[in-house]
Structure 1
Amino acid sequence: MPSDYISGSGHKQFYRLTTSSLTRNKPLSLHVGSVEEIVTNALEECSKMKEPILFFHEMNKIAFKVIMTMFLGYATDDTVIASMEKSYTDLFSGLFCTPINIPGFAYHKVVKARKKQVKEIQGVLGEKRERKRNDPNSKIGLIDVIREAEDSKGEKLDEEYIIIILVMFLIAGRETSGRTATWATIYLHHHPHVLQKAKEEQEKIMKRRPSSQKGLTLSEIKQMKYLSKVIDETLRRRTNVFALFREAKNDTHLNGYFIPKGWKVLVWQSAVHMDPEIYPNPKEFLPSRWDA
């Protein structure tokens, strides 16, 4: 992946494109119903299984399907989703391996998975174009907004850039969402009083719902204040990313330390999240700490 997509001005452009794409045309509210259906169906399927399930794996599958649905604007074939997820898993498993492109090494598997993944994404993008031609009024997906966006030179984005954006969304969203959902479920199980309070909040929202309303809305999600604190506390206790890797672009003085230009900097978030001076009783799961 070209480095200018993920650093400097390239990163700023990427951030601008993706954040504006999530707010323009209200894509979040457009897809709440689809996301609810995906999650509900997946959990019902899990509940019917007669054998124990790998909960984290199932949460990852849900997250992957949600991302793809929001990106395209519709739910693509389950067989295609399963194949793409397999390619993604192979790619992600060697994301931080030594780059030795020889059969038998993890990086060689990553390169093969990357090529396969690009072909699969090109396939679904082609399917999306065909759908759009046949039905110009079909539901808007993130890809539709991105295709209308322009780069810093006023030019439309090419397919390679769009593929990179989708891969970045999958890398950033699948594993982190699955992990957070898994740990939130574990914490709710071990803290019945927290579960009860979160449940009461949901029931109050349901009671205020008009009888004509059939499903969840973005407005209702925004009312879930306590559940949001549960998620924040889960993210504090179980940081998704081990560390942030950065490079000093200039000589920098920080808290009495001198960091020369070019030095690599590793930011360890867990050290901050478990600092008792910042978060009293850091080992306790306390959603109420986010009341302030």
Structure 2
Amino acid sequence: MYMVRDGKSGFYIINSSFHVLWHVINFFWYVFMYSPANLSLFRSPENLYSPSGFMDYWIAGFLVLTAGVLLLSWLWFRLTNSKTRNEDKQEESEKKKGMIPKGSLGWPVIGETLTFIACGYSSRPVSFMDKRKSLYGKVFKTNIIGTPIIISTDAEVNKVVLQNHGNTFVPAYPKSITELLGENSILSINGAHQKRLHTLISAFLRSPHLKERITRDIEASVALTLASWSQLPLVHVQDEIKKMTFEILVKLLMSISPGEDLDILKLEFQEFIKGLICIPIKFPGTRLYKSLKGLTFELTMQAKERLIKIVKKVVEERQEATTESTNCPANDAVDVLLRDVNDGGCSDKQSHPLDFVSGKIVEMMIPGEETMPTAMTLAVKFLSDNPVALAKLVEENMEMKRRKLESGKEYGWSDYMSLSFTQNVINETLRMANIINGVWRKALKDVEIKGYLIPKGWCVLASFISVHMDEDIYENPYQFDPWRWDRINGTANSNICFTPFGGGQRLCPGLELSKLEISIFLHQLVTRFSWTAEKDEIVSFPTVKMKRRLPIRVTPVERTSPISVEDH
């Protein structure tokens, strides 16, 4: 029986039904005609004209006709009812399909991966998103690295994706990354475990005890680093800042000071990060991918094991000391995690408590290794290209320096955070840098947001860079304009349209600490030195960095008044 929905299908359906009915009637007629009773009727034709024989004949005919009518009615009911159900299902399916964002999946297997990467290497990496946004709208589908995904360049959609964590969306990372870090890594864990760990670290980073100590530590590290710059004929800002921020990060996490232990830790960590970033893109079925992945994976895992071994040694030594000083404030992240593990807290049941702490410390090193040095480097880059903004920054910081010299008081966390134009410079740097250009999430069920359907099992990329560079939100988005934040701050959409540190339950717990570190660096740089920068370009793929590592020449200065625009 045909179930086609076009105009001709009705004819075929009815024709098919009558065809079936004809065979059924023939069947009953055959039974009637060749039954023993009726055979005797037709062997003696005179019996046909007898009253009983005539009645038997027509009663049998009536029964056959009635059976045929009933069967036809039943077939018609089943047919129309089935058609209605199938039409409803098909209409529902088509309606659901229509809600899935429009877009193109590109070429077989590779999708639009090559175009995506090419745009990442260009001067405007957001061009991939912009082109498709103009064609399909702010939310569209595509295929990257062989996986159909939905990309959102809509701030409100991104907000929903970020806030519906755990029960609707979960982190989605390439399988190779998950294999390297493990299923219980900070990047992958969800639910109460993730929330507890996030709360612990956030509380520690906001504690008054840490704020006072870390401010002194950052000031000392920055002063030492900048002093060494003045002795160099040419400074590659990206490299030198990375050394400084790594020292600050390790001291915050493990209280390791500069020396041989730090140098060994740094070498192993660099090998690990190199492998983490360089895992080859998967093209299914290719031997090259399998061989490259196998080699890279093995080397990276070896680096990770050596790294964890170094960290675990620190954790084991601290475990012994922790039992004797539980009433003292935690000095670093190792103290925080050890105390919680000893209280029966965060540790997952699949690993030894000390292994758990060691693994989490290594994982905490990953986000800080790239984001902080990149933000500082790009701040220098943008200020070098914008002398008016630099002059205003110097004026504000020199004013605070004079006040501190007159009062004889030390700088505090709140002093740096109160520098309004400095915070504007930091925000504008983070907006334009887009160090974290977006986050990947996987839908655990069908999710509808603003009329768009994200099907169960699909990944969605919440694009931060597209929102940060949206001219409907930020006027002249490609222009470095710190003053724009005086106009933006306090507006209704300022929070959802500015997400350099992510959002929701996975908002970076080190947000304020990161801004403090950049503030201290900029304060000491602009009040003690001047510089000239050579021409350089920003590369956005696979990570944001300077093409030539931003070479500059630094000169110590004794500032007694704000600089003029012509000084740089």
Shorter-chain TM-score category?
Answer: 0.7 to 0.9
Tell me, yes or no, if structure 1 residue 76 matches structure 2 residue 76: no
Which of 115, 118, 128 is residue 305 of structure 2 equivalent to?
A: 115
- 2:19 aligns to what? none
* 1:254 positional shift: 2.1
Aligned-residue CA RMSD (Å): 2.8
* 1:168 positional shift: 2.5
- 1:252 aligns to what? 447
Q: Which amino acid aligns with 2:338?
A: R
1:21-60 equivalences under 5 Å are: 21-50=204-233, 52-60=234-242
Tell me, yes or no, if structure 1 residue 3 matches structure 2 residue 161: no
- 2:461 aligns to what? 266
Kindly indicate whether the alpha-carbon contact (under 8 Å) linking 1:103 and 1:109 is maintained by their aligned counterparts in 2. no
Q: Give the secondary-structure state (helix, strand or coil) at the position aligned to 1:26.
A: helix
CA distance in 2 between partners of 1:216 and 1:25 (Å): 14
Q: Percent identity?
A: 24
Kindly indicate whether the alpha-carbon contact (under 8 Å) linking 2:252 and 2:332 is maintained by their aligned counterparts in 1. yes
Q: Give the secondary-structure state (helix, strand or coil) at the position aligned to 1:48.
A: coil
Q: 1:135 to 1:18 in 2, by over 3 A?
A: closer
* 1:100 positional shift: 5.8
1:208-227 equivalences under 5 Å are: 208-209=403-404, 211-213=407-409, 215-227=410-422
CA distance in 1 between partners of 2:228 and 2:294 (Å): 37
Where does the alignment leave 5 or more consecutive residues of structure 1 unmatched? none
Tell me, yes or no, if structure 1 residue 18 matches structure 2 residue 198: no
Q: 1:249 to 1:104 in 2, by over 3 A?
A: closer
Q: Which amino acid aligns with 1:186?
A: K
Q: Give the secondary-structure state (helix, strand or coil) at the position aligned to 1:208.
A: helix
Which of 125, 136, 148 is residue 315 of structure 2 equivalent to?
A: 125
CA distance in 1 between partners of 2:265 and 2:291 (Å): 22
Which of 430, 453, 471 is residue 276 of structure 1 equivalent to?
A: 471
Kindly indicate whether the alpha-carbon contact (under 8 Å) linking 1:229 and 1:290 is maintained by their aligned counterparts in 2. yes
Q: 1:26 to 1:100 in 2, by over 3 A?
A: farther
Kindly indicate whether the alpha-carbon contact (under 8 Å) linking 2:218 and 2:248 is maintained by their aligned counterparts in 1. yes
- 2:333 aligns to what? 142
* 1:75 positional shift: 4.4
Q: Give the secondary-structure state (helix, strand or coil) at the position aligned to 1:247.
A: strand
Q: Give the secondary-structure state (helix, strand or coil) at the position aligned to 2:230.
A: helix
Deviations 1:246-289 (A, max 9, x none): 10122111233211111111222211111100111001001111
- 1:195 aligns to what? 390
- 2:273 aligns to what? 92
* 1:138 positional shift: 9.2
Kindly indicate whether the alpha-carbon contact (under 8 Å) linking 2:247 and 2:258 is maintained by their aligned counterparts in 1. no
* 1:2 positional shift: 3.5
Q: Give the secondary-structure state (helix, strand or coil) at the position aligned to 2:381.
A: helix
CA distance in 2 between partners of 1:204 and 1:188 (Å): 19
Kindly indicate whether the alpha-carbon contact (under 8 Å) linking 2:383 and 2:390 is maintained by their aligned counterparts in 1. yes
Q: Which amino acid aligns with 1:183?
A: L
Q: Give the secondary-structure state (helix, strand or coil) at the position aligned to 1:45.
A: helix
CA distance in 2 between partners of 1:201 and 1:139 (Å): 35
Which of 147, 162, 169 is residue 364 of structure 2 equivalent to?
A: 169
Q: 1:2 to 1:226 in 2, by over 3 A?
A: same
CA distance in 1 between partners of 2:203 and 2:294 (Å): 42
Deviations 1:98-142 (A, max 9, x none): 496889822222111101101111233345457768988698223
* 1:46 positional shift: 2.3
Q: Which amino acid aligns with 1:145?
A: V
Q: Give the secondary-structure state (helix, strand or coil) at the position aligned to 2:448.
A: strand
> With structure 2 as the length reference, what TM-score do the two structures score?
0.47
CA distance in 2 between partners of 1:278 and 1:217 (Å): 34
CA distance in 2 between partners of 1:101 and 1:164 (Å): 27
Name the count of aligned residue pairs: 288
* 1:237 positional shift: 0.6
* 1:3 positional shift: 2.2
Q: Which amino acid aligns with 2:275?
A: G
Tell me, yes or no, if structure 1 residue 185 matches structure 2 residue 380: yes
* 1:217 positional shift: 1.6
Q: 1:128 to 1:122 in 2, by over 3 A?
A: same
> With structure 1 as the length reference, what TM-score do the two structures score?
0.87
Deviates most, 22-31 or 116-125: 22-31
CA distance in 2 between partners of 1:90 and 1:33 (Å): 30
